[in-house]
Amino acid sequence: MKSKWIKSALVILLALCLAALCACGNPDADVDAAPDPEQNGATQTLKVGMAGLDIKTACIIIAKQLGYFEEEGVDVQFETISNLADGLTAVDQGKLDILPFGVIPTCTFVAQGSDVVVFGGTISEGSEIIVTADKAGSINSAADFRGQRIGCYRMETGHMVIKGFLREAGIDTNADTQFIYLDSQASIVEAVKKGEVDMGFVNSGYGYIAQQSGLVVVARAGDFVADFPCCRQTTSRAALTAKRQALVKFEIAALRGYMTYLTDHQTAIDALVDYCGQDAKYVEAVMYGLAGEYDHAMIISLDPNKNKVVEFYEIMQANGDIAADTAFKMADHVDVTIYEDALNEMISREPDNAIFSQLRDEFAVNNF
């Protein structure tokens, strides 16, 4: 009986060893590998960090409201973040897949060694300079910034690119100007009203609100530095690898949202009003401007614009916002292929669409 037991055990052990050897010899025989949902047709989920009811991410909101993500086969779930730094931390830790806000936190995290990646755009420019009505028309050149007390918010890009613009014009941004950091854009509006600062940098939504309260949009950062990146779409390297096809589908749906934004204003406005709860006039002002009343500053664009993102990173280094001697290069943290694949798909669907052809031409200029 004992001999039979030993023989049986040896047979089982031999079978296990042979199975292990076969698995090692066959790289495809990974019995523990998790199934790839993109291979079996399952719908992948993307968790997207949203900053309250902010509508700068208009294309993404429109795509969500109108069901484009669902039609493209990706489950997009919005999750509210308390601030951009927390949002990007969640991306870095794999708790969120996408943060479509901010370029400052992305550059900051990259400079500190985080492996986060820009794969698309949200808006460019969008920064306005507000003053009291008696100073209307006072800011037209770099020289007009001399001696000014300038209210700004650390997560607002306009004041950062203007610092670079002023340095190139020979103005010392420490001695010739005074940049005063406040805790929010609402605080900047109040500081300008009270005369605590001479001017303030705010985003388009706050520019419109400031104008309604009697202040004046005296200039836009884009008047001095064109096409600088504001909000970008950022993911982690891990998500970029594991969920690449889902990200392409996400971008396809966002491009469809962009088309709606461009060609069907009323549908876009209705979708954004439904999302944010603001009145239609506010949404129209921020997204399209109001003839004779308000000229919006935001440029909606899903292009990652690698060239400008790298340039902005270098401006942050020169400003001292991130370490000048960081070993990490922003060029290594921009992936242009997600957007490129999505754009090519839209062109294949609508080969005669002049808008997509123009986006392809712009992509070639912006990313190589």
With contact defined as beta carbons under 8 Å apart, do 104 and 163 qualify? no
pLDDT in tens, 277-305: 999 999 999 999 999 899 989 999 999 99
> Could you give the CA distance from residue 85 to residue 99 in angstroms, rounded to a whole number?
10
Residue 76: CB atoms within 10 A of its CB come to 23
How far is 221 from 223, CA to CA, in rounded Å? Answer: 5
Query: How does residue 40 score in pLDDT terms, banded at 50, 70 and 90?
Result: low
Q: What tens digit of pLDDT does each residue of 48-65 get? A: 999 999 999 999 999 999
Confidence of residue 38 (pLDDT cuts 50, 70, 90): low
- Distances in Å between the Cα of 25 and the Cα atoms of 21, 22, 232 are 6, 5, 44
Provide the 8-state DSSP code for 322. S
pLDDT in tens, 214-238: 999 999 999 999 999 999 999 999 9
Q: Which residue has the higher pLDDT, 323 or 29?
A: 323
Residue-range domains of the chain with CATH: 44-125+230-367 (3.40.190.10), 127-224 (3.40.190.10)
What's the CA gap between 133 and 195, in Å, rounded?
Answer: 12
Number of Cβ within 10 Å of residue 118's Cβ equals 26
* 3-class secondary structure, 214: coil
Running DSSP on this structure, what letter comes out for residue 68?
Answer: H
> What's the rounded Cα separation, in Å, for the pair 167 and 146?
12
158-212: per-residue pLDDT in tens?
999 999 999 999 999 999 999 999 999 999 999 999 999 999 999 988 999 999 9
Contacts of 242 (CB under 8 A, 6+ apart): none
What is the pLDDT, as a whole number, of residue 41? 62
Q: Would the pLDDT of 39 be above 80?
A: no
Question: How far apart (Å, rounded) are the C-alpha atoms in residues 19 and 22?
Answer: 5
Q: Quick one: pLDDT band at residue 5, thresholds 50, 70, 90?
A: very low
